[in-house]
Amino acid sequence: MALFNKILARIGIGAARVDAKLVNDEFRAGEKIEGIVEVYGGNVEQTIDRIYLRLFTSYVKEVDDKKVKQDIQLNVFKINEPFTIQPAEKKKSLLLSNYLMIHPLRLEKHEYGWQQV
């Protein structure tokens, strides 16, 4: 039965789950992004090699005389070192806000997004 649970976890059934909880939904230039990353163990012991947090923004772009909303990925942050999580275990990790400080980035004429400093 343990082997069957490991196979299911490899395809995502009963696997560990990751939840990033940010203090705010929106951020302005110069603000720090703060939050907690929680990892919940699944049905079997699993080794978590890496967790990445992706930072996106939206902007409006004019295409064929129409305004179109575009999403763009600004950066990817690795937020952990490898670790093992046991079944039903819960681990919390504080997001380091220092390396997530953002500033304005000019994308196109009169359009702005955000990127890591």
Tens digits of per-residue pLDDT, 3-21? Answer: 666 666 666 667 888 888 8
Other CB atoms within 10 Å distance of the CB of residue 49: 9
Q: For residue 89, name the pLDDT band (cuts at 50, 70, 90).
A: very high
Strands 17-22 and 46-48 come out as unpaired
Calpha distance 10→24 (Å, rounded): 33
Q: What is the pLDDT of residue 66?
A: 92
Give per-residue pLDDT as tens, 26-67: 776 667 778 888 999 988 889 989 888 887 778 888 889 999
pLDDT at 80 over 90: no
pLDDT at 104 over 90: no
Question: Residue 35 is inside which H or E element, if any?
Answer: strand 35-40
Question: Residue 85 is inside which H or E element, if any?
Answer: strand 83-85
Q: What is the pLDDT of residue 1?
A: 60
N residues, the chain = 117
Closest CA to 85 of 49, 47, 113: 47
